[in-house]
Structure 1
Amino acid sequence: MNTSSHPSNPTRQALLLTGLEHARAHGFRTLTVRGVCAAAGINTGSFVYHFGQREAFVAELIESWYRPLLDTLQWQLDRDADPLTRLAGMLRQLFTFASHNGEFIGQILLDAGSGEKAVRAFLRGLAPRHPQMILRCIEDAQAAGQVCGAPALHQLMFLMASLGMPLVAQRLLCGKDVLPDVIEEALTRFAIDTQCLEERLGWALRGLRPGECPS
């Protein structure tokens, strides 16, 4: 397998772009090597040269989608600002990303449920990546006295639920005729609106201030 020798090779890039386009629309679980090659107009021998096996191709596709988010969050974590400002910046970046990619995130979850090995490996490996970065920033904010001393992991769960779940639910469920009208209306109106996201972010961070939550 040759996954790194020619990162800018046009054939390689065409396969990656075609594969990601397919995955966004239909999920990785329906992706086949022959299908990607046919759509890209490239023979299967070239696919094997650049990626070897399908699973390695899927792993690289999902990493290429995720890595820019990780780099942006790392920049937020490292920048010269107080911990609460950095935490707000990280959450804003994360949930803007989730808003723009909600349907694809839904596909990824369906892929994992269907047994896609590379997708499951990616999800299992997330804990030390962006969640750990956010945990570190929460702990920095606790040390600075900007948020209360409740367990940082519990605070992370609260932030993910209050900010992230409405975004994913809107992308996954709205328009599918599975929700009560009032809930679908609320998700459509509030979940992905930028101003509403900023309001929820403010509410959530104020709720974590010292004195506002048990420590």
Structure 2
Amino acid sequence: MSRPSQQIDALLIASGMALLPETGCAGLSVRKLTEHAGVNLGMFHYHFKSKDNFIRAVLQRLYEAMFTDLQVQADSGADAVSALQAAFTVLGAFARANRKLLFMLVSEALRGEALPLQFLRENLPRHLAIIVRLVQRGQAEGRIVPVPVPQLLPFLAGGIVGPILAGGAIERQGTLAPELAGLAQLALLSEQALAQRIELALRAIAVQP
């Protein structure tokens, strides 16, 4: 049976995951967070000490769950191209599920907000390193074109994940007519569209037989 303190911790984290995509880091109110979680304000300070500590904990928990799955797919023993396809499927699914939060983080980082900027600086290189390793392995296997990896990365990321961030921005602004918003959802954010973009991007960098 879980200790009460662990249950309170989990309640706060769950509320943080629900609220942060709407408020961003700067706009999160500790009082509204504790009200949402049904937790005493004093217990928040007991567990996390400060809002910044809490936000770091929420963001890192989300990221680590994705990163663990990413490592499993990258080390699955499949050939490099198949592992790369699986890795981008993990990254794309994470971006789809958390697109509102990612849009807020990138927006705040571009404005110079310290906490999201630090989070992105610390974690972005981690999953990029896995993608780089898989691309290099694919090149060594003769399956991927021998183009400098720094040139391939923006192409892959922009073609696969970029539309998800664009779709998240469109969703947040809510400026499209319902029928156009539905088309954007299908073309940019659906699971099928993501799978198609991954297939097209990998086909584009594959060595032709």
Q: Calculate the TM-score normalised by the size of structure 2.
A: 0.87
Report the more deviating stretch, 35-44 or 91-100. Answer: 35-44
CA 1:7/1:105 → structure 2, altered by over 3 Å: closer, same or farther? farther
> Quick check: which one's helix share is greater?
2
Aligned amino acid, residue 124 of structure 1: R
What do the CA deviations read for 1:17-40 (whole angstroms, capped 9, x no partner)? 122211123222211222222332
Is 1:99 aligned to 2:87, yes or no?
Answer: no
SS at match of 2:71: helix
SS at match of 2:206: coil
Are the equivalent residues in 2 in contact too, given 1:87–1:137 (CA < 8 A)?
Answer: yes
- Note the C-alpha offset of 1:175: 6.9
Which residue, 122, 127, 149 being the options, matches 1:125? 122
Identity of aligned residues (%): 27
CA 1:87/1:211 → structure 2, altered by over 3 Å: closer, same or farther? same
CA 1:200/1:7 → structure 2, altered by over 3 Å: closer, same or farther? farther
Tell me how far apart the structure 1 counterparts of residues 62 and 4 of structure 2 sit (CA, whole Å): 15
- Note the C-alpha offset of 1:194: 2.4
Are the equivalent residues in 2 in contact too, given 1:62–1:119 (CA < 8 A)?
Answer: no
Tell me how far apart the structure 1 counterparts of residues 128 and 62 of structure 2 sit (CA, whole Å): 17
- Note the C-alpha offset of 1:102: 1.4
RMSD: 2.7
Which ranges of structure 1 fall in alignment gaps of 5 or more residues? Answer: 1-5
Are the equivalent residues in 2 in contact too, given 1:55–1:117 (CA < 8 A)?
Answer: no
- Note the C-alpha offset of 1:196: 2.5
Tell me how far apart the structure 2 counterparts of residues 69 and 146 of structure 1 sit (CA, whole Å): 26
Aligned length: 207
Which residue, 107, 110, 133 being the options, matches 1:110? 107
Which residue, 8, 15, 36 being the options, matches 1:11? 8
- Note the C-alpha offset of 1:184: 6.0
Tell me how far apart the structure 2 counterparts of residues 8 and 135 of structure 1 sit (CA, whole Å): 41
Query: 1:55-66, aligned counterparts within 5 Å?
Result: 55-66=52-63
Is 1:74 aligned to 2:71, yes or no?
Answer: yes
CA 1:176/1:77 → structure 2, altered by over 3 Å: closer, same or farther? same
Tell me how far apart the structure 1 counterparts of residues 35 and 122 of structure 2 sit (CA, whole Å): 32
- Note the C-alpha offset of 1:131: 0.9
The corresponding residue for 2:173 is: 176
What do the CA deviations read for 1:121-166 (whole angstroms, capped 9, x no partner)? 1011124311111111111111111101111122111011111111
